[in-house]
Amino acid sequence: MKRTKAERQQLLKATIEETPFITDEELASKFDVSIQTIRLDRMELSIPELRQRIKSVATNQWNETVKALPLEEVIGEIIDLELDNRAISILDIGKEHVFSRNKIARGHHLFAQANSLAVAVINDELALTVKSELKFTRQVTEGERVVAKAAVTGKNSKGLTMVEVTSFVDQEKVFTGMFQMYQSNERKKEQVK
C-alpha cells in the first residue's frame, strides 16, 4: 500500500534525523519512489542535500580544527574530530576512485583516506607518517560509502604516536591500518628535558 505524501514526508524527516548521512538514492529505494520525489520532498521540508547535512553535522559536533594539514587536503570529509583522541571521515567512492573495467576502488584511495585521517587527528602543526601496517579485508566498489574511524592508541618506545584506523562500508570492515606518526611538538618536549 502506497503512503500518502504527508506520511512519506514525516517518515523521510524522521529517517534523515536518525541517519543524516543517508543518500537520496537510498531514501528513494527505502520509500519506493523516484530520486526526484525525494529531492522535492526534501525541498518542501527544507532539508538540505547530503553534502550540506554532512558539513552541518561536522560544524555542530566539533569545534576543534585540523592543525597538521589544511582541511581541504584531507581525503574524505571529516565528520567528527577530537584532537589527539579520535576522528571519523567519510568517502563516497565515485568513478574517479575505481578501475574502469571492474569498478573496484583503487587501494591508494582507501589508504589516502586513512592516512590523512591519521595526520588530521594529531594535535600539532607538523605530523608525518613514519610507518604504516595495512590490511585490506574486502574490495570496495563504485557507489559505496567508506567510513574511516581513527583512534590514537598511545605512544611507542620511540615516542611516535600510534593511530589505528579502521574503515567500514555499512558495518562491514574493509580496511585496517596502524600508523606510527611523528609530530614536531614531541621533539620539542624532548629538547626541553
pLDDT at 191 (0 to 100): 44
Strand runs labelled E in 56-171 = 77-82, 86-92, 127-136, 145-155, 161-169
Identify which of 63, 65, 8 has the alpha carbon closest to the alpha carbon of residue 38: 8
Decide if 189 contacts 165 (C-beta within 8 A): no
Is the overall model pTM greater than 0.75, yes or no? no
Q: What is the pLDDT of residue 55?
A: 64
Structurally, what CATH architecture does the domain formed by 5-55 represent?
Orthogonal Bundle (1.10)
Please give the pLDDT value at position 193.
45
b/e 144-180 (16+ beta carbons within 10 angstroms → b): bbbbbbbbbeeeeeeebbebbbbbebeeeebbebbbb
Rounded to whole angstroms, the Cα distance separating 113 from 52 reads: 20
23-37 pLDDT, tens digit each: 888 899 999 999 999
From-to residues of CATH 3.10.129.10 in the chain: 63-192
DSSP 146-179: EEEEEEEEEE-TTSPEEEEEEEEETTEEEEEEEE
Neighbours of 20 (CB within 10 A): 15
Over the chain, what is the mean pLDDT? 86
Determine whether domain 63-192 maps to CATH 3.40.190.10.
Answer: no
Check residue 56 and give its pLDDT: 64
Check pLDDT > 80 for residue 151. Answer: yes
pLDDT at 53 exceeding the cut of 50? yes
Instruction: Find which of 8-22, 72-86, 124-138 is predicted with most confidence, using mean pLDDT.
Output: 124-138
Mean of pLDDT values over 159-179? 95
Q: Which residue has the higher pLDDT, 136 or 126?
A: 136
State residue 166's pLDDT score: 97
Where do the CATH 1.10.10.10 domains begin and end in the chain? 5-55
